[in-house]
Structure 1
Amino acid sequence: MPEKFVVVGAGPVGSLAALYAAVRGYHVELYELRPDLRDPATTPLNFTKSINLAISERGVNSLRQTGLTTLVKDVVSSTTPMKGRMLHLRKQGKYVREAQLYDARGKNLLALDRTSLNKTLLDALESMPNVKLFFHHKVVGVDFNKKLAWFERRTPSDPSSRGTEIEISFDFMIGADGAHSAVRYHLMKFTPVAYQQEYIDKLWCQFHVAPSPKDGKYRLPPNYLHIWPQDEAMFIALPNQDQTFTSTLFLTRQGFSDLDAHPDRLVAYFQDKFPAVVPDLIPADELVKQYNENPHLPLITIKCTPYHFSSSGVIVGDAAHAMVPFYGQGMNAGLEDVRVLFDFLDQYPTDRAKALDQYSKVRTPDAHTINDLALRNYREMASDVKSPLYLLRKKIEETLDVYFPGLGFATQYSRVTFSNMPYSEVQRRAAWQARVLNCAVGGLGVGVLGAMWVWGRGGGWARVKRGVLLGCCWIARGVVGVVRGWE
Structure 2
Amino acid sequence: MDGDKNDQSTVKAAVIGGGLIMVGALQACYLAKRGFQVDLYEGRQDIRTVEEAKGRSINLALSVRGRAALHHVGLEEEITAAGIPMRARRIHNRAGGLHNQPYDKDGQAIFSVSRRNLNEKLLTKAESFPNVKLHFQHRLVRADLDKGELQFTTSSGDTVTATHDITFGADGAYSAMRRELMRGNRINFSQEYIPHGYMELKIPPTEDGGFAMLPNFLHIWPRDEFMMIALPNQDHTFTGTLFVPFAIFEKVQERGEDGVIEFFTKNFPDAIPLIGEESLKNTFMSTKALPMVSVKCYPYHRKDKAVLMGDAAHAMVPFYGQGMNCGFEDCVVLDEILNKHNNNFKTALPEFSQVRSPDAQAMCDLALYNYVEMRHLVNSKLFMLNKKIDDFLYWLLPKSYMPLYNMVTFSRIRYSIVISKWKQQKKFVRFCLISALFALPMIAGTGYWQRSNLSGHRRFNFHWRNIRWEKIGSKQR
Instruction: State whether residues 144 and 190 of structure 1, in contact with CA within 8 Å, keep that contact through their aligned partners in structure 2.
Output: no
Provide the C-alpha distance between the structure 2 equivalents of 1:464 and 1:393, rounded to a whole number of angstroms.
Answer: 35
Q: Which residue matches 1:477?
A: none
Q: Which residue matches 1:57?
A: 64
Q: Which residue matches 2:392?
A: 399
Q: Which residue matches 1:145?
A: 146
Kindly tell me: are residues 36 and 292 of structure 1, through their superposed partners in 2, closer, same or farther at Cα, counting changes over 3 Å?
same
SS state of the match for residue 340, structure 1?
helix
Q: Which moved more, 1:445-454 or 1:167-176?
A: 445-454
What TM-score comes out, normalization by structure 2 length? 0.90
Residues 1:18 and 2:11 are matched in the alignment: no
Kindly tell me: are residues 440 and 403 of structure 1, through their superposed partners in 2, closer, same or farther at Cα, counting changes over 3 Å?
closer
Q: Which residue matches 1:425?
A: 417
Instruction: State whether residues 114 and 233 of structure 2, in contact with CA within 8 Å, keep that contact through their aligned partners in structure 1.
Output: yes
Instruction: State whether residues 344 and 358 of structure 1, in contact with CA within 8 Å, keep that contact through their aligned partners in structure 2.
Output: yes
Instruction: State whether residues 80 and 111 of structure 1, in contact with CA within 8 Å, keep that contact through their aligned partners in structure 2.
Output: yes
Instruction: State whether residues 9 and 33 of structure 1, in contact with CA within 8 Å, keep that contact through their aligned partners in structure 2.
Output: yes
Kindly tell me: are residues 25 and 302 of structure 1, through their superposed partners in 2, closer, same or farther at Cα, counting changes over 3 Å?
same
Kindly tell me: are residues 414 and 461 of structure 1, through their superposed partners in 2, closer, same or farther at Cα, counting changes over 3 Å?
farther
Residues 1:36 and 2:34 are matched in the alignment: no
Instruction: State whether residues 88 and 275 of structure 1, in contact with CA within 8 Å, keep that contact through their aligned partners in structure 2.
Output: no
SS state of the match for residue 93, structure 2?
strand
Provide the C-alpha distance between the structure 2 equivalents of 1:464 and 1:304, rounded to a whole number of angstroms.
Answer: 61
String of CA shifts for 1:347-387, please: whole Å, max 9, x gaps: 11253121010000010110000000000101110111111
The one-letter code of the counterpart of 2:411 is: S
The one-letter code of the counterpart of 2:155 is: R
Q: Which residue matches 1:369?
A: 362
Q: Which moved more, 1:458-467 or 1:383-392?
A: 458-467
Q: Which residue matches 1:108?
A: 109
Runs of 4+ in structure 1 over 4 Å off:
449-456, 458-461, 463-467
Residue number among 57, 80, 84 corresponding to 2:84 in the alignment: 80
How far did 1:393 drift? 1.5
Instruction: State whether residues 416 and 426 of structure 1, in contact with CA within 8 Å, keep that contact through their aligned partners in structure 2.
Output: yes
Residue number among 306, 321, 324 corresponding to 1:331 in the alignment: 324
Kindly tell me: are residues 288 and 454 of structure 1, through their superposed partners in 2, closer, same or farther at Cα, counting changes over 3 Å?
same
Larger Rg, first or second structure (1 or 2): 2
Residue number among 188, 212, 215 corresponding to 2:206 in the alignment: 212
Provide the C-alpha distance between the structure 2 equivalents of 1:270 and 1:464, rounded to a whole number of angstroms.
Answer: 63
Superposition map of 1:339-350 within 5 A = 339-349=332-342
Instruction: State whether residues 253 and 284 of structure 2, in contact with CA within 8 Å, keep that contact through their aligned partners in structure 1.
Output: no
Residues 1:194 and 2:184 are matched in the alignment: no
Provide the C-alpha distance between the structure 2 equivalents of 1:440 and 1:340, rounded to a whole number of angstroms.
Answer: 37
Identity in percent: 38
The one-letter code of the counterpart of 1:21 is: L
SS state of the match for residue 124, structure 1?
helix
The one-letter code of the counterpart of 1:82 is: M
What TM-score comes out, normalization by structure 1 length? 0.88
Provide the C-alpha distance between the structure 2 equivalents of 1:168 and 1:400, rounded to a whole number of angstroms.
Answer: 56
Provide the C-alpha distance between the structure 1 equivalents of 2:140 and 2:171, rounded to a whole number of angstroms.
Answer: 10
Residues 1:178 and 2:198 are matched in the alignment: no
Provide the C-alpha distance between the structure 1 equivalents of 2:262 and 2:462, rounded to a whole number of angstroms.
Answer: 57
Superposition map of 1:158-177 within 5 A = 163-177=157-171
Kindly tell me: are residues 287 and 461 of structure 1, through their superposed partners in 2, closer, same or farther at Cα, counting changes over 3 Å?
farther
How far did 1:257 drift? 1.6
Superposition map of 1:440-459 within 5 A = 440-448=432-440
Kindly tell me: are residues 394 and 32 of structure 1, through their superposed partners in 2, closer, same or farther at Cα, counting changes over 3 Å?
same
Instruction: State whether residues 253 and 259 of structure 2, in contact with CA within 8 Å, keep that contact through their aligned partners in structure 1.
Output: no
Structure 2 segments unaligned to the other structure (5+ residues): 1-8, 468-477
Q: Which residue matches 1:5?
A: 13
Q: CA RMSD in A?
A: 2.2
Q: Which residue matches 1:45?
A: 54
Q: Which residue matches 2:118?
A: 117
How far did 1:65 drift? 2.1
String of CA shifts for 1:409-444, please: whole Å, max 9, x gaps: 111001100001100111111111010110110111
Q: Which residue matches 2:254?
A: 261
Provide the C-alpha distance between the structure 2 equivalents of 1:79 and 1:461, rounded to a whole number of angstroms.
Answer: 67
String of CA shifts for 1:311-344, please: whole Å, max 9, x gaps: 0100000000100000000000000011111211
SS state of the match for residue 96, structure 2?
strand
How far did 1:451 drift? 6.8
The one-letter code of the counterpart of 2:69 is: S
The one-letter code of the counterpart of 2:204 is: A
How far did 1:307 drift? 0.3
Instruction: State whether residues 139 and 152 of structure 1, in contact with CA within 8 Å, keep that contact through their aligned partners in structure 2.
Output: yes
How far did 1:2 drift? 2.2
Provide the C-alpha distance between the structure 2 equivalents of 1:465 and 1:400, rounded to a whole number of angstroms.
Answer: 34
Provide the C-alpha distance between the structure 2 equivalents of 1:189 and 1:442, rounded to a whole number of angstroms.
Answer: 54
